[in-house]
Each structure stands twice: as C-alpha cells, then as structure tokens.
Amino acid sequence: MTHLREDPTVWKGDELVRRSDWIQDFATADPGAIRDQLENGSGAILLRGFPISEHSKDSARDAFSEWTGTLGTLLSQNESGDTVFDVSDAGFAKDDPRTRGPNTKNKLSFHTDRCDVIAFLCWKQARSGGENQLISSKHLYNEIAKRRPDLLKILKEPFVYKRHTVDLANALSFCEQPIFSFTEGHFACSFLRVLIDRAHADPELPDLSPEQIEAMDFLEAVADEEGQAFHFRQEPGDILLLNNWITLHRRSSFEDHDAEEEKRCLFRIWLSMPNSRPIDHFFKANFGDTRAGAVRGGFRTN
C-alpha cells in the first residue's frame, strides 16, 4: 500500500478549521459521537466552554478526569499510576531524570503519546507562545509516498525505542516498533523521536542506519513545511482531543507569567478507547495489547 485514499481522516493544514467536527460546544458534546469522530473523522476535536470559572485548579482537574472517563479508560502516566499529568514548566535541570518535554518551556517535536487518545484541558495559558500544531499523519504518509517512496518503506520497518526515563516499572530496556503500519487494513502512526535518538546514543543498543535517520529527518521536514500542519492556541476552558494513531502534535516554546498562580498549565489525560483500531504486534511491548477495543497503553505501575 503506497498511497492512502482521501477520506475524513486525511486533511491538510487549514482544512481542519473548516470541518464541522473540529470545534464543538462542551455543554452539548455527546461522548458517543466524539468517540466516532476521533476514530473515523478528523481525529482532532476542540471543545470550547468547559466552565473554568466555576472551579478551583484541583476541582477542575477532578472534573476533567471524571468527564474523560465517559469517553474511555484513563491510563497511568507514571510508575505511581497517576492518570492526570499537569503540563507546566517544572523548572527541572536538563539532566534531571524527571525532565520530560511537557514539563519544560521548550518547543516540542511532532510526536504521539502512548495511548489511543490524548486529552488536554487548558487551565492557564502562557504569556506568549505555547501554540498547538497538529498534522494528519495519513496526509503526511501520502506526502512521503509521493516524494520519497524509498523512505516510506523504511518508516514502515521497526525502529528501536529506549525505555522512557519515567517508565520505571518497565523491565524492558528497549522495544521496537514501526512509525507507519497497517493491521487488518487499519492505518496507524506512532512516533516519538526522542526515545529513538536515545536508543541510538546508547552504546548497548543497536545504532540507527543512515537511511533511518534520513527517513525521520524527511518526515519532520515535510511536517514543518508551511501549510502542512494546523496551528492554533488553546485557551482556558478549551479541551483538545486527539487520536494518536492518525494525528501528530507538538507545541511551540513559550514565555510564562511571573506569578506562580498565573503560569501556563494544561491537564493531560491518556485514554484507551473502546472503539480503537487493531495495531501491529510490535506495539505489544509498549501498549500491552494490540487488539481492537482492548484496554492498552500508559506506563506500567509498581
């Protein structure tokens, strides 16, 4: 399979904003329709109107957790089993093992997370920056298929991933999984280059080939091209939902407020979805189960 036919899951840049399934009202959102649109539609939904003003920070986090539980199963995001992660600058040193991209001010690269659907609720936005950028991974696949089918072939092969620094309950030091894959006719994209690069830098793990490096560089270069991705800024009360198998996301760097209570903070939840697609057997090591609709993903707990 070299080129994917056009369907609701394939979109380019600003085409997303014209979609009827993109922006919805939180108060009237139907969980069943949301699940279907995430799996069979654009794979990206922005819900506006979560009642931020009615909540403290802790109660907003709890209410968001309760609401996302109507969509799917909440997953662990660390070895302690915490299911909500505060995306904010923690001020950790660069070499601190607790440092993760989401708890810095840095620009992040396009990536996916270890879940079917990722959900963000914006509690506070930064003084400047922190722009969201989304791209349809099926559209990205098609662009690479047209321009460099030789590199597309490589992106369908397994890449070595080093165990995440916070995946402390995982006995495996690495795993292998493809970036693009097909299972029972279902497409899936999964990509977190930071763990691939860490594996390459580890002398005990296999090195990347020059062709693998070129393929990832080309994927990121295409995604960076003007018009390929959709850019917007999530504001307080906005909920962003993304199907990780058909979208990639990233965030620009940001400048924060001085006052602690005004600093940028989003609540992040990882979901396993009851209407998810089957995925390649290579994902078993990271996700635990590859069957359609199975509870899968997240970090193992102690």
pLDDT in tens, 119-164: 999 999 999 999 999 999 999 999 999 999 999 999 999 999 999 8
Nearest to 64 by CA among 52, 75, 53, 76: 52
CATH architecture of 13-287: 4-Layer Sandwich (3.60)
19-22 LR contacts (CB < 8 Å, sep 24+) = 21/45, 22/46
Question: Phi first, then psi: what are they for 5, rounded to 5°?
Answer: -65, 155
For residue 242, give the amino acid letter: L
| Spans of all domains in the chain | 13-287
pTM for the whole structure: 0.95
pLDDT in tens, 232-278: 999 999 999 999 999 999 999 999 999 999 999 999 999 999 999 99
Residue with tokens 């990536």: 111
Could you tell me which residues come within 8 angstroms of residue 66 by beta carbon, excluding any fewer than 6 positions away? none
Quick one: pLDDT band at residue 104, thresholds 50, 70, 90?
confident
pLDDT at 97: 62
Nearest to 14 by CA among 299, 202, 230: 230
pLDDT at 186: 97
pLDDT at 168: 82
